[in-house]
Structure 1
Amino acid sequence: MHHPSLSIVIPSLNEAEGIEATLTALLGLWGCGVEIVVVDGGSEDATVALARPLASQVIESPPGRARQMNAGARASHGERLLFLHADTRLPKRADRRVERALAGSHCWGRFDVRLAGRHPLLPIIAFAMNRRSRLTGIATGDQALFMTREAYEAVSGFPEQPLMEDIAMSQRLKRLSRPACLRARVTTSGRRWERYGAWRTIRLMWRLRWRYWRGETPETLAREYRHVR
């Protein structure tokens, strides 16, 4: 079996509105031999049907982003893994950027992020996300985490928790190396900040992260996150 150099894993749940656009944007990479794996968590819309013609494989998994990403990693064949949100677009030739980033002392990394939308605070929020990540070595899922398969397996994949799985994964990977912080930007939807209010969302996320650092369980924080939203 041919093993691709990169597998892109996309967890999805009721993403019929945008999944075609996300996967169409990846067709150039697919044509270059990149594997595209969509992992659906039980969508009740047409997500799976829309994704099948545009992906290397579409599999189903119990819901939960971390659980879905782990299922996608197990089903994939690439030497390198990239975990992409269903509303996020990669920069051009992301496969080559990842390959170069992982060719040296880094075994994992992430991209800078740009938030798409009309709210005037979105560029400032994105700048703060990128700056904070560069200083702390902690990445968010919006920044399209990538890593070698060896690093993924060394840390036993994403912790299957309902919230903050990206932060927990960053903490695990930091034990292996600092992240490669690429200045090339992924573009992700700013709908969360526009729909629920920019300042309200900022306050909520900072409060949840602070409590997570203080030791509250992801399950407790996830219940509050769902209730507020």
Structure 2
Amino acid sequence: MSSPRVSVSVIIPTLEEAATIATCLDHLASQGADEVIVADGDSADGTADLAQASGARVVRSPRGRGVQQNRGASQAGGDVLLFLHADCRLEAGSVSRLRRFVGRCPKVPGGCFRMRVDAPDLPFRTIDAAAHLRAGLAGLPYGDQGVFVPRWAFDRVGGFPEVPLMDDVYLALRLRSLGRIALLPERIYVSPRRWRRHGILGQSLRNWSLTAAAASGVSPGVLSRFYPIVR
């Protein structure tokens, strides 16, 4: 007998993403997800209307990425929750691969895809490699790597911590207590806009410093005193 089909719910937290959400949902349409939920944090630029017009189900939420993702997850019916950022796109066949992987490895508590910054500049390849090592060896994916969590594991750890920043890292730390985090070979293409805005070196150093501090046990409340809130 064949295994039951694994259902996948995609959850996209948004805040002022009118410039990216339609393209994101257009790319996602061919992936074959069972449902797509946009958890919008009261955007003033029409993000929610654009998402609804593109066929997504819109869930209104207080602002905060962790809060929004939990709100979206509470409305999702899939066996697996796949959290995507609005400025990312998955390689063709990624959701199908995810579905097969979870069907074969139901006890894995979560994972992500292999990140590639969507720009040709050579320094970005270093960022790609660092993300691969961080997620594959340390089991600490960032949210823009397309984090997926089976429903049982999400419920077991209590979902995303609703903290000012680094909710993705703190979730990964919780999931690691349940088992090894998986890194699937399909790519997720990430917009370079954050690095363009803050500088490749500055953005990377900030990310690495935040991750190291969080992994060392520093509370998000303490981190937020020294770092600006980042989306």
TM-score, length-normalised on structure 1?
0.91
* In structure 2, C-alpha distance between the alignment counterparts of 1:81 and 1:212, rounded to whole Å: 23
* In structure 1, C-alpha distance between the alignment counterparts of 2:177 and 2:45, rounded to whole Å: 40
Q: 1:16 to 1:4 in 2, by over 3 A?
A: farther
User: Residue 119 of structure 1 contacts residue 194 of structure 1 at CA under 8 Å; is this kept in 2?
Assistant: no
Q: Which amino acid aligns with 2:50?
A: L
Moved beyond 4 Å, runs of 4+? none
Q: Which amino acid aligns with 1:194?
A: R
Q: Does 1:147 align with 2:149?
A: yes
Q: Give the Å deviation of 1:120.
A: 2.7
* In structure 1, C-alpha distance between the alignment counterparts of 2:121 and 2:198, rounded to whole Å: 12
Q: Give the Å deviation of 1:44.
A: 1.2
User: Residue 165 of structure 2 contacts residue 229 of structure 2 at CA under 8 Å; is this kept in 1?
Assistant: no
Give 1:51's aligned residue: 51
Q: Give the Å deviation of 1:211.
A: 3.1
User: Residue 137 of structure 1 contacts residue 179 of structure 1 at CA under 8 Å; is this kept in 2?
Assistant: yes
Q: Which amino acid aligns with 1:148?
A: P
Give the counterpart of 1:24 among 19, 23, 26: 26
Q: What SS does the corresponding residue of 1:44 show, helix, strand or coil? A: coil
* In structure 1, C-alpha distance between the alignment counterparts of 2:10 and 2:38, rounded to whole Å: 8
User: Residue 83 of structure 1 contacts residue 146 of structure 1 at CA under 8 Å; is this kept in 2?
Assistant: yes
Q: 1:135 to 1:4 in 2, by over 3 A?
A: closer
Q: 1:194 to 1:118 in 2, by over 3 A?
A: farther
User: Residue 4 of structure 1 contacts residue 34 of structure 1 at CA under 8 Å; is this kept in 2?
Assistant: no
The count of corresponding residues between Structure 1 and Structure 2 is 225
Q: 1:185 to 1:227 in 2, by over 3 A?
A: closer
1:170-213, CA deviations, whole angstroms, 9 ceiling, x for partnerless residues?
Answer: 11111212112111110011111111111111222222233334
Give the counterpart of 1:131 among 130, 133, 152: 133
Identity of aligned residues (%): 38
Q: Give the Å deviation of 1:36.
A: 0.3
Q: Give the Å deviation of 1:42.
A: 1.3
Give 1:72's aligned residue: 72
Q: Which amino acid aligns with 1:50?
A: L
Give 1:34's aligned residue: 34
Q: Which moved more, 1:125-134 or 1:66-75?
A: 125-134
Unaligned 5+ segments in structure 1 are none
Give 1:172's aligned residue: 174
Q: Give the Å deviation of 1:52.
A: 0.4
User: Residue 20 of structure 2 contacts residue 86 of structure 2 at CA under 8 Å; is this kept in 1?
Assistant: yes
Give 1:90's aligned residue: 90
* In structure 1, C-alpha distance between the alignment counterparts of 2:116 and 2:60, rounded to whole Å: 29
Q: Which amino acid aligns with 2:163?
A: Q
TM-score, length-normalised on structure 2?
0.90
* In structure 2, C-alpha distance between the alignment counterparts of 1:44 and 1:19, rounded to whole Å: 14
Q: What SS does the corresponding residue of 1:26 show, helix, strand or coil? A: helix
Give the counterpart of 1:113 among 101, 115, 134: 115
Q: Give the Å deviation of 1:56.
A: 3.6
Over aligned residue pairs, what C-alpha RMSD do you find?
2.1
Unaligned 5+ segments in structure 2 are none
User: Residue 27 of structure 1 contacts residue 54 of structure 1 at CA under 8 Å; is this kept in 2?
Assistant: no
